[in-house]
Amino acid sequence: MESPADAPEQPQIYLISPPSFELGKFPGQLARVLDAVEVACVRLDLASRDEDTLSRAGDALREVTMARDVALVISDHQILAERLGLDGVHLTDASKSIRTARKALGPDAIVGSFCGASQHDGMVAGEAGADYVSFGPVGTSGLGDGAQAEVDLFQWWSEMIEVPVVAEGGLTEDLVRQVAPFTDFFGIGDEIWHAEDPLAALKTLTRAMG
């Protein structure tokens, strides 16, 4: 029987925003979730490429996350991360330069990289200095090229590589149970925001983690 000190820590929650949301509504939803569940990081992941839309969303979410001491990163928009005073950037294409982002944002910024289901891309990102590597989709989802990140990939990574890993995309309770022993974070977004009660949906997934 493992003592609690020997048992692996339960994965942390990394919340991903919906691809579009109402500025008058979503920050309140997010605040409710952050007040009820411990969250390590929030990612602003809008589909929009409109600078004004992204900036207003970034400002609104930063108010919520800063008040609760939760990190906020933005997908790809390194310049906006800097301008809006966010905590870092999540690069959605593994070939994008982590070193460039790190140079622009400084040593304290969070720079993460989505690497699909590619062990090789993950290792390259880790060697380039990524703070974390994200693999997915774990389940069936529209992420990437349709290749799924299998449990074996997370198991290998957790045994061989020090860089923290995020499991995201198409998560279900069953998949969360399978991957939980081998991941540091679960990237949870659409899984809860489509639900009538996002907080209840998140609690259901977190119960499956440990």
Please indicate, yes or no, if residue 1 is contained in any of the structural domains. Answer: no
Question: The tokens of 61 are what?
Answer: 């979410």
Q: How many CB atoms lie within 10 A of CB 183?
A: 26
Please indicate, yes or no, if residue 2 is contained in any of the structural domains. Answer: no
For residue 160, what pLDDT is reported? 97
Bridge partner residues of 42 (DSSP): 15, 72
For residue 9, what pLDDT is reported? 80
Please indicate, yes or no, if residue 6 is contained in any of the structural domains. Answer: no
The answer to whether the beta carbons of residues 129 and 111 sit under 8 Å apart is yes
- Global pTM value: 0.94
Report the DSSP pairing between strands 165-168 and 71-75.
unpaired
Please indicate, yes or no, if residue 189 is contained in any of the structural domains. Answer: yes
Q: Any idea how long the chain is?
A: 210
Q: How many domains does the chain have?
A: 1
**How far, in Å, CA of 140 to CA of 159, rounded?**
25
Identify which of 118, 132, 111, 119 has the alpha carbon closest to the alpha carbon of residue 12. Answer: 132
pLDDT means per 10 residues, the chain with 210 residues, are 51 98 97 98 97 98 98 97 97 90 96 96 96 96 76 98 97 98 98 96 96
The type of residue at 24 is G
Please indicate, yes or no, if residue 191 is contained in any of the structural domains. Answer: yes
Q: Which domain holds residue 16?
A: 12-207
For residue 17, give every residue at least 6 positions away whose Cβ sits within 8 Å of its Cβ, in sequence order, or none.
Answer: 26, 30, 42, 43, 44, 45, 46, 57, 61, 189, 193
